[in-house]
Every structure is written in C-alpha cells, then in structure tokens.
Amino acid sequence: MKWLSFLLILLFLASCVPAPVEGIAPETLAAQTIAAWPKTSTPGPTNTALVTSTATLDMRPPTPMIDLSLPGAYCLPTDTPRATALVTKILDGATIEVATNNQTWRVKYIGLDAPTIVAPAEWQAPQSYGLNDRLVNGQNVILVQDVTDVDAQGNYPRYVIAGNAFVNYEMIRQGMATAVNISPDIACQNSLLSAQVEAQAAVVGVWQATPLPTFTPAPTATITRTPGPVTPTSIPPCSCNRQYSCNQFPSRSLAQACFDYCRLSGFGPVIPDKNNNGRVCEGSD
C-alpha cells in the first residue's frame, strides 16, 4: 500500500514540471525577430558609389626637354627654369628678341661677346649677325637659365637651343663670337672655351687677321690705278716687330687679331696677355 502511495506521488510531481524547450540557433532567432518587426515605408539602405576628391590637374605645358648630347650641351643646367619662345628679331650676334605668352623679351646669350654691328661695325659683325639669323630667326627655341634671371640692362641671360644646335656654343665655335665669363652664369664656361680653342685653331671668323684700310689713289689725267682685290687673311693686321698697348687699337677685336696673328706667325706676344688666357685688352671695350 505504501508502495502504491509513493508511485502516485511521483506521477503527480512529474505532471507539474514544464516540457523542455527545444534549442534554436541564434541566426534563426535573429531572422524571426526581424520578421516580427512591424512593416514601415522607410526605404532600406542602398548601395552608393564611393565618391573620392581628385586634385586639379596641372594643365601648364611641361618643361621642355633638352638634348645634352648636342655638341657642347653637356654643361647645361638641368635644375633651372626653362621656357620655349619664338624668335621674332635678331639684334646682333649675341642678342635676340623672343615672344612668349603674348609678351616680348630681349634675350642675351650667356658666355659670349659678339662683334657690335652698330656703326662703326666691328670686324666680322655682319657675318656674326648673319650666322645668328640662320640659326634661330623665326624658330621656336628653348631658353635655359643659369643663375641670373634679368641683368642690369634688362636682358634675360640664357643658353639657347635651336633645333639640333646649342646656339651659344655654335656662335663661338664658328668664330662669330668670343667666349667670356660673367659670374655667376658660368655653368658652361669650359664648354664655350673649348669651342673658342677650336675656332682659333681653324682661324675662322674673328680669329682671321683683320684687314687694314687700303688707300686708293685718285686717278690722274694720264694714269688710272685700280687696286686689286684684297684678301683679308693675306694682309697682316699689324707689325710683329714691336710692342703695342690696348689704347693703340680702336677695338678689342682688332687688338686680338694682331695678337693672334703674331703668335701664329711665330712671334712672341706683342700685346700684354695679363690673364694668360689668350685674350688681350679684356674690358677695354
């Protein structure tokens, strides 16, 4: 009897315990929760393309490239300003006028001195002007700055590249200008000096002997003398049997021609070469 009573108590207690809860995965619970949310008209998130800011492009022309393999051009600075300009006028063997950005500029070739064409024109001045004209006139050239931007005279000292020619170098190499060093623009002084040595060895341009003035006698009633053509290189520019000073010559180029002629003829220096650089009367012009 006691056993039966105990069994009834166990059955009663078992009926009071709740049924076990079946396990549900978290993902399923989340999905069920979202599905149970009330429906609204609020639009859901949309895929929006990523917008990034871009810097403004520099539309200015690139720095013109220069060919350092051109004769004499190895010395040209690579870290200084450059520009491209149209040559509109030749002023002399060392100066040009260029146009760029609707403005006109006067450009002076760095490292050289050309014969002046202003009357009285110096020896080889027309030829120097002519070579400069053939090299650059009407062409787009590249202007390369050394150190100085504008000189005291308002000129823009520049190295100039025209086509396949380093113009400063060619003017000196062909004897139509002489090399000069004007600090601080001396990046190409060795290159330009080598061009001058080549011109001197070839005796071309200003390194030819300067012709002396010739006298044409007036005709008489009985005799008419017509002097023959004068060959510039056959007339000595001076006597090599004496010494001269710079003030005895009307221009430095004439003094230089005398000095070079006598030296090439086997004589000693007839004009003092103070700097021992083969150039006399420097700064006398």
Residue 276 is predicted with a pLDDT of 80
Res 55 pLDDT > 60: no
Q: pLDDT of 206-226, one tens digit each?
A: 999 877 665 555 555 554 555
Mean pLDDT over residues 267-282, rounded?
83
Q: Write the Ramachandran bin of 154: left for phi over 0, alpha for psi from -120 to 50, otherwise beta.
A: left
Residue 263 is predicted with a pLDDT of 80
Mean pLDDT over residues 274-280, rounded?
83
User: Hey, what long-range contacts does 120-124 have (CB within 8 A, 24 or more apart)?
Assistant: 120/250, 122/251, 122/253, 123/206, 123/210, 123/251, 123/253, 123/254, 123/257, 124/175, 124/176, 124/205, 124/206, 124/208, 124/253
Model confidence at 37, pLDDT cuts 50, 70, 90, reads: low
Closest CA to 200 of 260, 276, 127, 281: 260
Closest CA to 133 of 167, 106, 173: 167
Residue 21 is predicted with a pLDDT of 47
Q: pLDDT of 233-271, one tens digit each?
A: 446 777 788 788 887 777 787 788 888 878 877 787 888
The structural domains of the chain, ordered by start, are: 73-207 (2.40.50.90), 209-213+232-285 (no CATH)
The number of angstroms, rounded, from the C-alpha of 13 to the middle of its chain's C-alpha atoms is 106
Residue 185 is predicted with a pLDDT of 97
| Residue predicted with more confidence, 3 or 160 | 160
Q: pLDDT of 144-189, one tens digit each?
A: 999 999 999 999 999 999 999 999 999 999 999 999 999 999 999 9
Model confidence at 51, pLDDT cuts 50, 70, 90, reads: very low
Mean pLDDT (the chain) is 80
d(CA 209, CA 205): 9
Residue 57 is predicted with a pLDDT of 40
Q: pLDDT of 56-99, one tens digit each?
A: 443 345 579 999 999 999 999 999 999 999 999 999 999 999 99
- pTM here is 0.55
Closest CA to 179 of 165, 189, 166: 189
Mean pLDDT over residues 8-19, rounded?
60
Residue 134 is predicted with a pLDDT of 96
Q: What's the CA angle centered on 277, arms 276 and 280, to 5 degrees?
A: 85
Are 168 and 112 contacting, i.e. CB atoms less than 8 angstroms apart? yes
Residue 226 is predicted with a pLDDT of 56
Model confidence at 48, pLDDT cuts 50, 70, 90, reads: very low
Mean pLDDT over residues 118-147, rounded?
93
